[in-house]
Amino acid sequence: MATIGQKVTETMHTIKAWLYPNHLKDVKGKFVAKAEAEALLGIEEVSADSISRGDVTGNYNDMLRYVNGFMDQAIHQLLDGFSINFGYFSIHPSISGTYDSVNEPFDKEKHQFRLSFRTRDRLRKLIDETVAVSIQGIANVQGFVDQIFDVVTKLIDEILTPGHDIHVTGSKIKIAGTGADIGFFFINTLGDRFKAAEININTPGMLSIRVPDNLAPGLYTIEIVTQYVAGSAKLLKEARVISYPVQLRVKS
């Protein structure tokens, strides 16, 4: 990552990816590719990089103020129902869920206000012309989570609904073993861990987990701690940890 004052030039973007076993029954092929996760950048880092490249001239603090002001106004317009075209992509309000009659009101338990992301021609052209994917090989993993599906909202990798199930799909994620450290955990931004008490489906490729009724509003990641060994009745001597870094929200 560049710092202010460091000039950067590049002609090609390379995305590193690793191959994982394909557990999708309806999709042919032995492996699926997953991009190697890089650092999550914020407005501060992107602004510093823009100035370092020479793409933007002026004061760094002024740039932060202008960009944050623009983003605040864009969000204000989105929440008023407008779609926003950012040039490279656009964001559009949408409503999910079904209605049984014309008089049925919007119900947050049944319906969901969402913002959808669409790539535009300018970005698609850049992807086609400048992005290369470099397969690094087969990932050396003891298991991985592919996605988390919230049964109530039908959203993937976004929401946790207390008192209801989530479906966790992946590979080698079956929970096996004994001890307080074994299980499925919800971890908040302070690092506090909350263990799931109810596991309704427990297989190597899928877990159905009831989100604790009293899980407080906020952001959470999940962690699976297990002694499961694929294809064996024996347990690992030491538990392995499968983390999923995507933040999931419990709404207030």
Q: Is 184 exposed, middle or buried (0-12, 13-18, 19+ CB in 10 A)?
A: buried
> In the structure encoding, which two tokens stand for residue 107, read together?
């119900």
Element housing 89 (H / E): strand 89-96
Indicate the CATH number for domain 142-250: 2.70.50.70
pTM above 0.75, yes or no: no
How many CA atoms within 13 Å lie on the side-chain side of 174? Answer: 15
pLDDT at 128: 92
- Work out the mean pLDDT of the chain and round it to a whole number: 89
What pLDDT digit, counting tens, does each position of 144-162 carry? Answer: 888 999 999 989 999 999 9
| Cβ atoms 231, 249 nearer than 8 A | no
- Range(s) for CATH 2.70.50.70 in the chain? 142-250
Q: Look at residue 142 in the predicted model and tell me its pLDDT.
A: 77
> Using 50, 70 and 90 to split pLDDT, how confident is the model at 9?
very low
Q: pLDDT digit string (tens) for 97-124?
A: 899 999 999 998 888 899 999 999 999 9
Q: Summarize pLDDT for 225-244 with one digit per residue, the tens.
A: 999 988 788 898 889 999 98
Mean pLDDT (whole number) for 49-78 = 93
Among 88, 86, 81, which Cα is nearest to 114's? Answer: 81
Q: Does residue 249 have a pLDDT over 90? A: yes
Given a cut of 80, whether residue 194 has pLDDT beyond it is yes
HEC states along 112-143? EEEEEEEECHHHHHHHHHHEEEEEEEECCCCC
Provide, rounded to the nearest whole percent, the portion of the chain with pLDDT above 70.
94
Q: Residue 248 belongs to what H/E stretch?
A: strand 240-250
Please, which residues bridge with residue 85 across strands? 90
Contact 239, 225 (CB under 8 A): yes
* pLDDT score recorded for residue 87: 96
User: What integer is the mean pLDDT of 169-195?
Assistant: 93
Q: State the helix-helix crossing angle for 43-53 and 60-79, rounded to 10 degrees.
A: 130
- CA distances to 104, 212, 235, 236 from 195, rounded to whole Å, are 37, 8, 21, 21
Span 192-203, mean pLDDT? 95
